[in-house]
A and B are shown apart, each in its own frame.
Chain A
């Protein structure tokens, strides 16, 4: 059973629909008892880091999620949900993340040329700097996915499984053991995105 954690951040209509499209049963919920039984977990998120992390920690959902990660359950963070996997974020101050991926979230303005527009918004091609992750088994390097973000995962070289070139190679996806994250929106990336979700749903628990 795939569970999308609903912690009051963003709108989950398209994400929920995309799992239906690939024929996977999904439950969108903030109910801890259901999340405890999930065998795959999606951590979504749109908006500001501070507000989202506050909601995830104060609700106790962060603890449940961390327990499930220890059990080896595959977890996929999407967009802000990916950023939440990091140790901390520097979006308007300094805020604590889940610490599942080594590194931190920083503004893209620190690494991209001055004449580049912010946010990084639109379709961009994926590069796999460290070989092809299991998450990308149904897609190819060079395939395009849809991005909307102003912050990125920094100092996380060992976990980077995909980058996107925007005047600098921005972290597009991370993976470490059973924890994965996409900065882009697979639910808005056409068939390429659906194939990434499909690959995630086929992952085994991490032993």
Chain B
């Protein structure tokens, strides 16, 4: 059977991983290549790289780095950030990405999902959604969670899947950074309406949060996190052992 996936997410700016990362044995803690390799060697099932560069020079640098990552790491790679056109899909796929994550690019141009899926297949298009409760409804937010787009998150996700998104990353702004656990209510609402894999993001603070996620919502396929992995609060290989001890299927 398919295992539950544990996915660390690395934000890259000007070719460097943002947020201090401190692991023993890493000579360069901000190198996407070294960190990616570290995670890959220590149980990560997949890696997500987000390009948070604004400049075109930074973007070219990101693409070079991606190439280097993909020539040394042999697990699935998802790339997001700055994906606005099919040329952007092409640019990152050629450098070894397996999936392309769209977020604000799809909000600006909803056809992007359909076009990407048509050209590269549904399995290649990941719709990443930042959602937050507003007056009891889940709303889609843009610009790193600062701007309410007014879009209903469940409708937006349903539409994205109908247009060919092969996977959903749901990041709950309400639980993000709180470290009190994933947003099970929001995740459950999404799992109820789509049949593609759902990746939970936002809120994980400890191993128990992942156990709860997969136990309470068996339909969720993967858990994604950034800082708790980067700061070593949760070690992926240890997390996966704990998951296995709790009868959750993982790749060890």
Contacts and interface: CB of A to CB of B under 8 A. Distances in A.
Interface stretch (B19-27, B51-59, B69-77, B177-185): B69-77
Contact of B2 (A120, A189, A191): A120
Contact of B76 (A18, A144, A146): A146
A43 B161 CA distance: 31
Interface in A57-97: none
A14 B123 contact: no
Interface in A141-195: 144, 146, 148, 165-166, 187-191, 193-194
A121 B165 CA distance: 14
Interface residues of B, number: 28
Contact of A122 (B2, B71, B96, B98): B2
Interface string B143-155: 0000000000000
Contact of B221 (A120, A122, A146): A122
Interface string B56-92: 0000000000010011101110000000000000000
Contacts of B3: 122-125, 144
B45 A123 contact: yes
Nearest to B44: A190
Interface string A103-128: 00000000000000101111111000
Contact of B1 (A20, A21, A46, A124): A124
Contact of A13 (B40, B76, B94): B94
A47 interface: yes
A14 B96 CA distance: 6
Interface of B: 1-3, 5, 40, 45, 67, 70-72, 74-76, 93-96, 98, 121-123, 166-167, 195-197, 221, 251
7 contacts: A122-B2, A122-B5, A123-B5, A148-B123, A188-B75, A188-B76, A193-B74
